[in-house]
Structure 1
Amino acid sequence: MKLEPYERKAGQSLAEDYEHHFERVRDIYEYNVWDETSWERRAAWLDQPRLSANRTELVHNLIRYNDKLGNEPQSFESLELLRRPETLVIVGGQQAGLFTGPLLVIYKAATIIQAARHAAERLNRPVVPVFWIAGEDHDFDEVNHTYVLTQQMQVQKLKLDNPSGGRTSVSRLVIDNWEDALTQLDHSLIDTEFKAPLLEKLMELAGKSSTLSEFFGRIMAWLFGKHGLVLLDSDDPGIRKLEGPMFARLLEKHAEVNKAALSGSEQVKNLGYIPQAEAHPDSAHLFVFEENGERVLLYRGGDGLTDRKQERRYDLAQLVELASQSPERFSNNVMTRPLMQDYLLPVLGAVLGPGEIAYWGMTRPIFDTMGMQMPILLPRREHTLLEGTIQKHMDKFGLTLDDVQHRFEEKKQEWLREKDELRLEERFAEVKEQFSKLYRPLLETVGSINPGMAKLGQANEQKILEQIEFLETRSTEASLAQHEAAIRQLERIRLTLFPLGRSQERVYNIFSYLNKYGTDWLDELVRQPLSLRPVHSIIYF
Structure 2
Amino acid sequence: MPTNYIPFRETNYFSDFICDYLDEKPKLKPLYNRFPAIGNFEAQIEEKLHSEIVREPYRKVLVDVLTKQYSQINTSELTLQNIENLNSENTFTITTGHQLNLFTGPLYFLFKIISAINLTKQLKTSYPNYNFVPVYWMASEDHDFDEINYFNFRGKKIQWNSNQSGAVGHFNTEGLDAVFEVVSAEFGLGKNAEQLKKWFKDAYLQHNNLANATRYLANELFGKHGLVILDSDHKDLKRLFIPNIEKELVEQIGFNEVSKTNSSLEDLGLKIQVNPREINFFYLDKDLRERIVFEDNLFKVNNTNISWSKSELLKHLDEMPERFSPNVIMRPLYQEVILPNLCYIGGGGEMIYWLQLKSNFKVHNVTFPMLLLRNSVLVKTKKQTSKLENLNISDKDLFLKRSSFINKKVRKISNVDIDFSKQLKYLEQQFEDLYKLAEQTDKSFIGAVKAQEVKQLKGIEHLEKRLLKAQKKKLADQISRCTELQEQLFPNQSLQERNTNFSELYLEYGDSLIDELIKLLEPLNGEFTIITI
TM-score range, shorter chain: 0.7 to 0.9
CA–CA distance in 1 between the matches of 2:85 and 2:126?
17
1:105 to 91, 105, 109: 109
Instruction: Judge conservation of contact 1:244–1:326 (CA < 8 Å) in 2.
Output: no
Letter of the 2:258 counterpart? A
On the 8 A contact 1:102/1:509 being kept in 2, the answer is yes
Amino acid at match of 1:30: N
Whole-Å separation in 2 of the counterparts to 1:156 and 1:529 = 28
Structure 2 residue identity aligned to 1:161: N
Alignment-derived partner of residue 447 in structure 2: none
Report the counterpart of residue 209 of structure 2 in structure 1. 211
Question: How far apart in 2 are the matches of 1:317 and 1:539?
Answer: 58
* Correspondence 1:381 to 2:383: no
Flag the 1:252–1:206 CA change in 2: closer, same or farther, 3 A.
Answer: same
Aligned partners of 2:302 and 2:276: how far apart in 1? 14
Give the aligned partner of residue 6 of structure 1.
6
- Matched letter for residue 40 of structure 1: E
Match of 1:535 among 517, 527, 530: 527
Kindly state the Cα deviation for residue 373 of structure 1 after the two structures are TM-superposed: 2.1
In structure 2, the residue matched to 1:247 is 245
**Cα distance 1:252–1:277, how it changes in 2: closer, same or farther (>3 A)?**
same
Alignment of 1:13-162 (within 5 A): 13-34=16-37, 36-51=38-53, 54-124=58-128, 125-149=130-154, 155-162=155-162
In the TM superposition, residue 81 of structure 1 has moved relative to its aligned partner by: 0.8
Counterparts of 1:104 and 1:529, CA distance in 2: 13
Q: Distance in 1 between matches of 2:3 and 2:374?
A: 16
Contact 2:97 2:137 in 1 (8 A): yes
Is the contact made by 2:244 and 2:364 (CA closer than 8 Å) also made in structure 1?
no
SS of the residue corresponding to residue 399 of structure 2 reads helix
Deviations 1:157-203 (A, max 9, x none): 111111xx132111111112322222322333354442123312332
Structure-1 separation of matches of 2:31 and 2:302: 29
Counterpart of 1:288 (choices 271, 283, 289) is: 283
Distance 1:420 1:537 in 2: 31
Q: Does 1:409 align with 2:409?
A: no
Matched, 1:359 2:353: yes
Q: Which stretch of the first structure deviates more once superposed, 380-389 or 410-419?
A: 410-419
Q: Secondary structure at the match of 2:90?
A: coil
- Contact kept in structure 2, 1:66 and 1:230, CA below 8 Å: no
Would the alpha carbon gap of residues 401 and 306 (structure 1) be closer, same or farther in structure 2, given more than 3 Å must change? farther
8 A contact 1:264–1:361 mirrored in 2:
no
Shift of 1:388: 2.2
CA positional deviation for 1:137: 0.2
> 372, 384, 394: which is aligned to 1:400?
394
Identity %: 22
In structure 2, relative to structure 1, the CA distance for the partners of 1:121 and 1:415 (3 Å cut) is closer
Distance across 2 between alignment mates of 1:50 and 1:76: 25
Q: Which residue does the alignment assign to 2:434?
A: none
The SS at the match of 2:165 is coil
Q: Is the 8 A contact 1:129 1:230 kept in 2?
A: yes
Write the mapping of 1:178-197 to structure 2, written as runs, cut at 5 A.
178-189=176-187, 191-197=189-195
Q: Are the counterparts in 2 of residues 5 and 538 from structure 1 also a CA contact under 8 Å?
A: yes
Supply the distance in 2 between the matched residues of 1:208 and 1:477 (Cα, whole angstroms): 57
Hey, what does 1:299 align to over in structure 2?
A: 293
**CA–CA separation in structure 2 for the residues paired with 1:302 and 1:402:** 58
Residue aligning to 1:447: none
Decide whether the 8 Å contact of 2:410 with 2:472 is kept in 1: no
Give the 3 Å change call, closer, same or farther, for CA 246–101 of structure 1 in structure 2. Answer: same
* Equivalent residue in structure 1 for 2:332, among 318, 332, 338: 338
* Map of 1:257 onto structure 2: 254
Unmatched 5+ residue regions in structure 1? 150-154, 424-471
Aligned pairs, how many?
477
CA shift at 1:243, angstroms?
Answer: 3.8
Query: Could you say if the C-alpha distance between residues 84 and 402 of structure 1 is closer, same or farther in structure 2, counting changes exceeding 3 Å?
Result: same
Asked whether the equivalents of residues 235 and 320 of structure 2 are also in contact (C-alpha less than 8 Å), the reply is: no
Deviations 1:201-255 (A, max 9, x none): 33223332222222221111011111111000122455345444543343233x2
Does the CA contact (< 8 Å) of 2:290 and 2:303 recur in 1?
no
Return 5+ residue gaps in structure 2 as ranges. 418-465
Q: Does 1:266 align with 2:269?
A: no
Q: 2:511 aligns with which of 498, 502, 519?
A: 519
Distance in 1 separating the partners of 2:370 and 2:342: 6
Q: 3-state SS of the aligned residue for 2:8?
A: coil
Q: In 1, distance between residues paired with 2:61 and 2:401?
A: 55
Residue 300 to residue 477, structure 1, CA distance change in 2 (3 Å): same
- TM-score, with normalisation over the residues of structure 1? 0.81
Cα drift, residue 144 of structure 1: 0.6
Which residue does the alignment assign to 1:443? none
Alpha-carbon distance in structure 1 between the residues aligned to 2:106 and 2:216: 16
Separation in structure 2 between the aligned mates of residue 396 and residue 19 of structure 1, nearest angstrom: 34
Q: How do 1:334-483 and structure 2 match up within 5 A?
A: 334-412=328-406, 415=409
In 2, the alpha carbon distance for the partners of 1:156 and 1:397 equals 28
Is the Cα contact below 8 Å between 2:375 and 2:521 reproduced in 1?
Answer: no
Partners of 1:478 and 1:258 in 2: CA distance: 55
Distance 1:4 1:404, change over 3 A: closer
Change over 3 Å in CA distance of 1:417–1:121 after alignment to 2: closer
Q: 1:321 is paired with a residue of what secondary structure? A: helix
SS in 2 for 1:250: helix
Given that residues 248 and 324 in structure 1 are in contact (C-alpha distance below 8 angstroms), is that contact kept between their aligned partners in structure 2? Answer: no
Post-superposition Cα deviations, 1:371-415, rounded to whole Å, max 9, x if no partner, equal 112111111111101112322332233223332332433443565
What displacement does 1:11 show? 1.7
Compute the displacement of 1:529 (Å): 6.8
Render the CA deviation track for 1:461-516: whole Å, top value 9, x for unaligned.
Answer: xxxxxxxxxxx9xxx99977x955x5553343232222223211011100111111
Aligned-pair CA distance for 1:263: 1.3
CA offsets 1:292-331 (integer angstroms, 9 cap, x no match): 5311122333423345679764433222222211112111
Output the CA distance in 1 between the equivalents of 2:204 and 2:164.
Answer: 21
State the alpha-carbon separation in 2 of the partners of residues 504 and 529 from structure 1.
16
